[in-house]
Amino acid sequence: METKKRIYVGLLIASLFSAVMIIGIVWYLITQRDIILSQIILILIVSIAGIIFILLSIGILAIIIMIIRSRTIPSLENMTQLANDILFPLTLLTGRLVGIEKNSILRSYIAVNNYLVKAKKLILKGEQVMILLPHCLQNSECPHKITVDVNNCKECGKCKIGDLKKLCREHGAVLKVATGGTLARKFVQENRPRGVIAVACERDLSSGIYEMGSLPVMGVLNCRPHGPCNNTDVDLLAIEKALQMMCKGG
């Protein structure tokens, strides 16, 4: 397993064991009290925690097996989703405690997510795929309102929006430019794509992937030669590869 993926999977496991330690402390405190009600609460807490622990363990194990096999396990996809949903915020906390830079963890999370999406071997039609771009990809001096309709772009070549428009036209994919998470969610709700290729920075991409839940989202990081949120750039080849992967089953 590469380092990028190891960070995230390692933190998933560390988060799980942190949760177990907290449960152990609760157990210790309750067993110090000699009341029947406390014992009933204790049994309840331990039973619920035990079930959650088993489910999360299966989820993490499934993620590791899927990465090693490069193939998804359809019957365990819900478990992997559950493990990700519950433990992702904990991985950030654990990472901070052990001094790992937040963006490294987010990049690792995005890499694991992309690998799991690839392992699904999706075969979608072009029109079932939405390419979701951040507004900062547009040249800051461009007067055209592309968030309202990307067809307002005149393909002048001053930014990558025109090239991406051509790419989507060739593949029949849906192209949208969003100013933030709210507009991005609106586009997804309106168009109901079966797969999304999202371009953004580490923070927006990871929160977007997290929020989309079971909808497969391939994340492509943007480049920020002029600093964050201003005239950003993206590797066209990476988007084309992601599009081909979603349409040709990897």
Query: Site residues (CB under 6 A) for ligand SF4?
Result: 138-139, 142, 144, 146, 153-156, 158-159, 161-162
Q: How far is the CB of 152 from ligand SF4 (least distance, A)?
A: 8
Residue closer to ligand SF4, measured from CB, 158 or 194: 158
Cα-to-chain-centroid distance, residue 189: 18
Residue closer to ligand SF4, measured from CB, 145 or 248: 145
Residues 194-220 as b/e (b if ≥16 CB within 10 A, e otherwise) read ebbbbbbbbebbbebbeebeeebbbbb
Residue closer to ligand SF4, measured from CB, 126 or 162: 162
Residue closer to ligand SF4, measured from CB, 136 or 247: 136
Separation between Cα atoms, residue 111 and residue 218, nearest integer Å: 9
Q: Look up tokens 């990897």; give the residue.
A: 250
Q: How far is the CB of 225 from ligand SF4 (least distance, A)?
A: 16
Quick one: 157 exposed, middle or buried, by C-beta within 10 A (0-12, 13-18, 19+)?
exposed
67 and 9 Cβ atoms separated by less than 8 Å: yes
Q: How far is the CB of 201 from ligand SF4 (least distance, A)?
A: 19
Q: How far is the CB of 222 from ligand SF4 (least distance, A)?
A: 14
